[in-house]
Amino acid sequence: MTTRRAFIGTVTLGVLTAQLAADAKLAGRVHRIGYLSAGWGTLNTHRVGAFRQGLRELGWAEGQNIVIEYRFAEGRS
């Protein structure tokens, strides 16, 4: 038979372990950014380069904690 202290300790340990696991998942999370263009599959390198530079200045690293996905309408608005 378990004592009350052992039960409370086990429950507390379980809650703390679950919280640490959830925090670890969020820390390794990769966010996605969508780049949508009405063009024909060519990037506006000046604008995209400035956007990437701004992200780097804010601590985001493409391929590490963000992924940029490019999509083009190819003239079909």
3-state SS, residue 63: coil
Counting Cα atoms < 13 Å in the Cβ hemisphere of 62 gives 12
Average pLDDT over residues 66-71: 90
**How confident is the model over 24-63, as pLDDT tens digits?**
454 578 899 998 888 887 777 888 889 889 999 999 988 8
Residues 24, 59: contact at Cβ < 8 Å? no
Amino acid at 8: I
Q: How far apart are CA 14 and CA 10, in angstroms?
A: 6
Q: Please tell me the predicted confidence (pLDDT) of residue 23.
A: 47
Q: Please tell me the predicted confidence (pLDDT) of residue 40.
A: 81
The answer to whether the Cα torsion of 57, 45, 77, 74 is positive or negative is: negative
Q: Is the pLDDT of residue 17 over 60?
A: no
Q: pTM for this structure?
A: 0.54
Q: Please tell me the predicted confidence (pLDDT) of residue 56.
A: 93
